[in-house]
Amino acid sequence: MNTDTAILQEELLQFLREDQVSTNETILTNHSKDESYHEGSLPDLVVFPESAEEISKIIKVADASGTPVIPFGLGSSLEGHIIAYDKGITIDFSSMNKVTEVRYKDFLVKVQPGVTRSQLNKALKKHGLFFSVDPGADATLGGMAATNASGTTSVKYGVMKDQVQDLEVVLPSGEIIHTGSLARKSSSGYDLTSLYVGSEGTLGCITELTLRVYGIPEHVMAARASFPTIDHAVEAVISMLQAGVPVARVELLDEASIRRVNQFNGTDYIEKATLFLEFHGNEAGLQEDVAFMEEIVKNHECEVIHFEKDNAARMKLWEARHNLAYAYIHGSPGKKMMVTDVCVPISELAGAIRHGREKIAELDLESGILGHVGDGNYHALLMIDMENEEELKKAEKFNEEIVEYALARGGTCTGEHGVGKGKMKYQKREHGKALPVMEAVKAAIDPKGIMNPGKLVHSERGNSQ
């Protein structure tokens, strides 16, 4: 341990217990990288605070010495978001993992940032409620808010920013603020809640979230629809959305992805381009919605529709979808995963996926296409041998090409994973003159650039790297 780290540790131990401050090599390593191909870097220290007040004190210590602070939820982000490129203090929120209040009459819940989405849903079930956003990883709600995550149900219920009503935030100065209120709507002041959702730990630490929740639907129906080609499947989704079919989930998996699902989960799903679908509602309404969907998919040459009738089969279907990235990781030992994340207007989706598939065919890499197609968001999963520089270059070039395609059609480089380090290079192209406005916001709130430096936007410290 160097002298600066020893001094920091001593200062932190003035108000934290010894088990809340770690320089243990394994713990540093576990906090040094995310689940993607980005290379890791160790922080100096990892701290495990238990309250906003402790976080405020930690940030004041960091501020005094200009030490970077990296908020860390589960570390499941995919663009180097939590990597300590410039060392510093990583704040792990796993000890702040309580559901503090269920306001069932208001359809609101208050949680600490380290609560995971499945933990929250377990706590809500006895109230007949559920939280809708479900990224593939069992991420923390703090991390999900900080990346504006979404998932399979966003086509019906919206993304993370639609669910966050209020945040408690510790600013880079150590001040503790609230960004919203318990009121369903408000026209009062700048919308700081929206500013902090998607801020990726660059503007402060989220220490409590007030989130919207929903009643568990009376009836749920899930189905798998197989198509002769991926084009047919995508066109069917576009027709469904344009016809206003109230689908709650619609996920696309190409043939390669279905193969991975079968290998990883032991299922025997038909190995063709497939839509996983789900509908929520009352029995009569559901029957109408499903009949409408059937008519549309048949018009697009759907070959087989298999309805998952019982709860267990339905759970298995969505578990298989959520495990898909892990199916690729486990199926390609020794390789790292690059996931693209473009999102385009629905009318451009078929063209975007067709363009992506043509480019992928030129790569000769283990890969697949999947997506939250109801939102216009698709991912190419590329498995890369990091020892092979040419593979990495090919994958990066592909990523650049599809981002360029999406931006030229009014889309975005990232629909849900966020910018982190990996997508900073596209920010100028995507935001133009709005980017300096974002940099000015960062400089105003975090003048020393201590919060998660080198991510999302350039700051004083980030520029110097």
Ligand X SMILES: Cc1cc2nc3c(=O)[nH]c(=O)nc-3n(C[C@H](O)[C@H](O)[C@H](O)COP(=O)(O)OP(=O)(O)OC[C@H]3O[C@@H](n4cnc5c(N)ncnc54)[C@H](O)[C@@H]3O)c2cc1C
The site for ligand X (CB under 6 A) is made up of: 34-35, 70-78, 81-82, 93, 113, 135-137, 139-140, 142-144, 146-147, 149-151, 200-201, 205-206, 325-326, 416-417, 452
| Min separation Cβ 408 and ligand X, Å | 24
Q: Considering only CA atoms, which of 77, 37, 34 is closest in space to residue 388?
A: 37
Tokens 């989704």 appear where?
237
Task: Give the distance from CA 26 to its chain's centroid.
Answer: 25
Name the packing angle between helices 230-242 and 349-361 (round to 10°): 160
Among residues 356 and 422, whose Cβ is nearest to ligand X? 422
Q: Where are the beta strands (DSSP E) in 263-420?
A: 274-281, 304-308, 336-339, 366-372, 377-384
> How far apart, in whole angstroms, are the C-alpha atoms of residue 268 and residue 21?
48
Report the half-sphere exposure of 319 (CA within 13 A, side-chain side).
12
Among residues 281 and 420, whose Cβ is nearest to ligand X? 420
**63-99 residues labelled b (16+ CB within 10 A) or e (exposed):** beeebbbbbbbbbbbbbbbbbbbbbbbbbbbebbbeb
> How far apart, in whole angstroms, are the C-alpha atoms of residue 206 and residue 93?
10
Among residues 142 and 422, whose Cβ is nearest to ligand X? 142
> How far apart, in whole angstroms, are the C-alpha atoms of residue 268 and residue 146?
37
| Min separation Cβ 228 and ligand X, Å | 27
Among residues 70 and 164, whose Cβ is nearest to ligand X? 70
| Min separation Cβ 232 and ligand X, Å | 24
| Min separation Cβ 212 and ligand X, Å | 17
| Min separation Cβ 82 and ligand X, Å | 5
Q: Are 446 and 434 in contact (CB under 8 A)?
A: no
| Min separation Cβ 243 and ligand X, Å | 25
Among residues 205 and 349, whose Cβ is nearest to ligand X? 205
Among residues 104 and 326, whose Cβ is nearest to ligand X? 326
| Min separation Cβ 145 and ligand X, Å | 7
Task: Kindly compute the dihedral angle of the four CA atoms of residues 92, 93, 95, 101, in this order, to the nearest 10 degrees.
Answer: 180
| Min separation Cβ 404 and ligand X, Å | 22
Ranked by CB distance to ligand X, the top (closest) residue is 143
The H helix count followed by the E strand count for the chain is 18, 18
> How far apart, in whole angstroms, are the C-alpha atoms of residue 284 and residue 291?
11
Among residues 88 and 143, whose Cβ is nearest to ligand X? 143
Q: Considering only CA atoms, which of 430, 433, 428 is closest in space to residue 413?
A: 430
Task: Kindly compute the dihedral angle of the four CA atoms of residues 62, 64, 65, 71, in this order, to the nearest 10 degrees.
Answer: 20
Among residues 205 and 302, whose Cβ is nearest to ligand X? 205
Among residues 302 and 327, whose Cβ is nearest to ligand X? 327
Among residues 206 and 286, whose Cβ is nearest to ligand X? 206
> How far apart, in whole angstroms, are the C-alpha atoms of residue 140 and residue 275?
27
| Min separation Cβ 38 and ligand X, Å | 11
| Min separation Cβ 291 and ligand X, Å | 29
